[in-house]
Amino acid sequence: MVDGATAGLFLDAAGMKALGAAIAIAITGYASAIAEKDIGTAAIGAMAENEGLFGKGLILTVIPETIVIFGLVVALLINQ
Amino acid sequence: MRLLERLWGQKPSRKSDKKINGTSNYPYAVTRVRAMKSKLLPKESYPRLLNMGIDEITRFIQESEYKNDVDELAMKYSGGDLAEHALNRNLALTYDKLVRITAGELNYLIVAYLKRYDIWNVKTLLRGKLYNASVEDIVESLIAAGEFTYTSMSELAAKATYQEIIEALKYTEYYPLLQKFDGTNLAYIENELDKIYYTGLFEAIGKPRSKDRKLFVKVVRLEVDVKNLINLFRLKKAGVMQLDEIMPLMIEGGLELKPEKLAPLPYDEFVNELQRTQYWDVISGVTGPDMTSLTTLESRLTRYYLESSTILSHVSPISVLPILDYIIHKNNEATNLRIIFRGKEGGLSDELIKDQLVVI
């Protein structure tokens, strides 16, 4: 007897969960990469002129990392 | 946003922007240039500089961003010459650095803008040779920030006559015009060189479609307006009214002013006409009939131009504007320093020097 919710799909519930988690991680990872790319190059540009900006540059560069952390949290919640 | 822009970049409406190879790394270049701008002399330092003698000024700039330049040239020159050479060398190196750290579209626009120093150098060479200045004097005034290198410029300066210089510039875009130079029409050639520069710049920008180019062209047009306006005031002050005398001195492509309409008007009507423009707020206080000197007016207009470019660079922070803004402000700083130590050298009063400065 096939479950109504999964009828016509290739994956069962566990498979869909895994796929959902993968999408959550992949897209947020990609998003933070795009955000960090611009901030990182900008930080390097500023550092090239003024080395004292290393600390600030580093912090600003990793702020978009929160996006992928949210993705990770969502992935973990999905798989609970 | 940039990702979307890149995808949209393929659409036909962008075709009028000339195709540029390579990609511009805007965040890198813009932040680096902003950091460089923060190192320009603050306005508090100008009153201090005014109280110093020439050697102290040289010492002061040696302790600032000009250290390497002063150190390197201190063996060869001294006093005002040392400061002049250091300024020119620093300007050339800074602009060269801007060209090095940018790529693609940014680089293309900056190189097109910096051609003004090629024009400056060609003018200096011709003027120097015409009035028999020594090779050292000519080399002192060269700023190798454009496409011509310092070495090639020095070689040109070492040539005996202006004919030889013009012959050596055979393969440049200025040659057809320079051929007309016969030793008597220097003013005409200089004006035409300026016009060639602006025509070339507008041509390089093309029909602006991207936000970048639109703002870039706005700043250039504003500069043209400011230059035309200053020239118009000078001409009106000197009593020149004929259209055919004024128009050859005007540069085409201004933002708001129509020189052909303003040129034939007498002074009062000319000033009235200006009330409708954006420049009126800036110049309203200094255009009265009892105006004796144009210095205040000129420095106010220049200040307005500098401030406008800064405002526009904030409107579009990730674009070519902050870099253009830096180029303009750096140039202004060099001009200010030059005014100070040349003024001191010539024994001008502090008050007179202060009037000439454009301090932002």
Read off the amino acid at residue A65: E
Per-residue pLDDT for B326 more than 70?
yes
- A7 is a domain residue: no
* Domain span including residue A38: 12-78
Higher model confidence: residue B15 or residue B35? B35
What is the structure's pLDDT at B56?
Answer: 86
Q: Is residue A72 part of a domain?
A: yes
A65 Cα to chain B: minimum distance (Å): 18
Please, are residues A43 and A30 in contact by the beta-carbon 8 Å criterion? no
- Cα pseudo-dihedral B287, B290, B293, B297, rounded to 10: -10
Chain B contacts of A34, Cβ < 8 Å? 3
Is B31 within 8 Å of chain A by CB? yes
C-alpha dihedral, B121 to B123 to B126 to B127, nearest 10°: -110
Tell whether B5 is within 8 A of chain A (Cβ): no
| B302: nearest Cα among B355, B349, B262 | B355
Q: DSSP letters along A6-54, please? A: GTT-SS-HHHHHHHHHHHHHHHHHHHHHHHHHHHHHHHHHHHHH-GGGH
Site from B1, B2, B32, B326 to mutate, A interface, most A CB atoms within 10 angstroms: B32
Residue A18 within any structural domain of the chain: yes
Contact assessment for residue B72 and residue B130, using Cβ atoms and an 8 Å cutoff: no
Task: List the CATH number of the domain containing A45.
Answer: 1.20.20
Split at pLDDT 50, 70, 90, the class of B3 is low
Q: In this predicted structure, what is the pLDDT of residue B15?
A: 42
Topology classification of domain B102-206? V-type ATP synthase subunit C fold (1.20.1690)
In this complex, do B34 and A39 lie within 8 Å of one another by their Cβ atoms?
A: no
The predicted-structure confidence for B138-150, as pLDDT tens digits, reads as follows 888 888 888 888 8
Q: Which of A38, A47, A53, A61 to mutate to test the interface with B (most CBs of B within 10 A)?
A: A38
Tell me if A4 is assigned to some domain. no
**Shortest alpha-carbon distance between residue A23 and chain B (Å):** 20
Q: B65-74, B134-143, B150-159, B330-339 — which one is most confidently predicted on average?
A: B330-339
Mean per-residue pLDDT of chain B: 85
The encoded tokens of residue A32 equal: 């933070």
pLDDT of residue B238: 82
Q: Give the global pTM.
A: 0.87
Contact (Cβ atoms closer than 8 angstroms) between residue B50 and residue B243: no
Amino acid at B194: D
Nearest CA in chain A to B97: A49
**Alpha carbons B189 and B211: distance in angstroms, whole number:** 34
pLDDT for residue B22: 62
- The confidence score (pLDDT) of residue B156 equals 87
Residue in B2, B3, B29 nearest the CB of A45 = B29
Span A58-67, mean pLDDT?
94
Residue A70 counted as domain residue: yes
What domain count does chain A have?
A: 1
Distance from CA of A74 to the nearest CA of B (A): 25
From CA B266, how far away is CA B276, in angstroms rounded? 17
